[in-house]
Amino acid sequence: MMRVAVIADIHGNLTALEAVLADVAAQRADQVVCLGDVAATGPQPREVVSRLRDLGCPVVRGNTDADAVRPVRLSPLDEEAHRYFDIDRWTSAQLSPKDLAYLRTFQITITLPLGDDATLLCFHGSPRSNTADIFATTPDPVLARMLDGYAATVMAGGHTHTPFVRRLRQLLFLNPGSVGQPFEATASGIRHLPWAEYAIVEREDSARLSVELRRVPIDADRVLQSVLQSGMPHAEWLASRWR
C-alpha cells in the first residue's frame, strides 16, 4: 500500500501548513508532494520555505515560485491586482539567497510511483503551463488537449485553490485545494476560509485506488495576527479577508 499526501498553494501561511502536516502525520502518509506556490502573498514566506526545505519533499514550481526567482514586470489592471503585486514583491524581498536557490530546484512536473506500475503525475496548473486553469467543469475535450502527451494513473494539479476529483477516460484527475488560501467569492469580494485543504492518494493494490480530499481546521485569528504583524504592504486589506 502507498499513501501520498498532495499539498498545494501554501502561500506563505505557516499556521495552515503546520496544521496540514500534523494531519498528514496522523494519516500516516508515506510521501508528501507539494504542487507549488509556496511563499507568495502570505505573511510568513521565509518560515514556510524553511519548513518545506526541512521536510525534504519534492516540490513543483508554481507560477508565483517562478516569479519570485525571476520577477516579471507587470502592469496590473485594477486596484486589487496592484495590491497583490505589491504584496508579492514584498514576499520575494523577504527570501534569502539560500531560499531563492531552493526555489530554483523546484520542477515543472514530478512523477511518483504508486506501486504496481501505477504513477502520480504532479504539476501546478497543467503539465505544460503553471498558469493554466483546470476546473471540475473544464470540458473533457479541452482537458484532454491540455494533458495530451502525458500519461499517468493519477494526475494532480493546483493553482485554482478549488478541490475536486474527476475522471477523464481511465485517468483520475485531482486538485487538492489550497493549504494557505482556500477562498470563496462573495458579493463583497473574496473571503478566505478558516481551514486548510489537501488530498491523500492511496494505492492499496493493483485493483484499488482512492483519492481523499481532506479539510483541516486552522486558527484563523492566528493567521490574521501574523498578517497584521508581518510588515507587508496592504496588511489591513489582506487581513480583512480573514475576518
Please write the tens of the pLDDT for every residue from 217-238: 999 999 999 999 999 999 999 9
Average pLDDT over the chain reads 94
CATH architecture of 2-107+178-240: 4-Layer Sandwich (3.60)
Write the DSSP string, the chain: -EEEEEE---TT-HHHHHHHHHHHHHTT-SEEEE-S--STTSS-HHHHHHHHHHHT--BB--HHHHHHHS------SSHHHHHHHHHHHHHHHHS-HHHHHHHTT-BS-EEEEEETTEEEEE-SS-SS-TT----TTS-HHHHHHHHTT---SEEE--SS---EEEEETTEEEEE---SS--EEEETTEEEE-SEEEEEEEEEEETTEEEEEEEEEE--HHHHHHHHHTS--TTHHHHHHTT-
Write down the pTM of the prediction: 0.96
Mean pLDDT by 10 residues, the chain (243 residues): 96 98 98 98 97 98 93 70 91 96 98 94 97 97 97 97 96 98 84 95 88 97 96 95 83
Let me know: does 39 contact 68? Beta carbons within 8 Å. yes
Rounded distance between C-alpha atoms, residue 237 and residue 214, angstroms: 28
CA 190 to chain centre: 18
Give 61-92 pLDDT, tens digit per residue. 999 999 998 776 666 668 888 899 899 999 99
Q: What is the pLDDT of residue 205?
A: 77
Query: Domain boundaries in the chain?
Result: 2-107+178-240
**CA distance readout (Å), 149 to 42, 142, 143:** 35, 14, 12
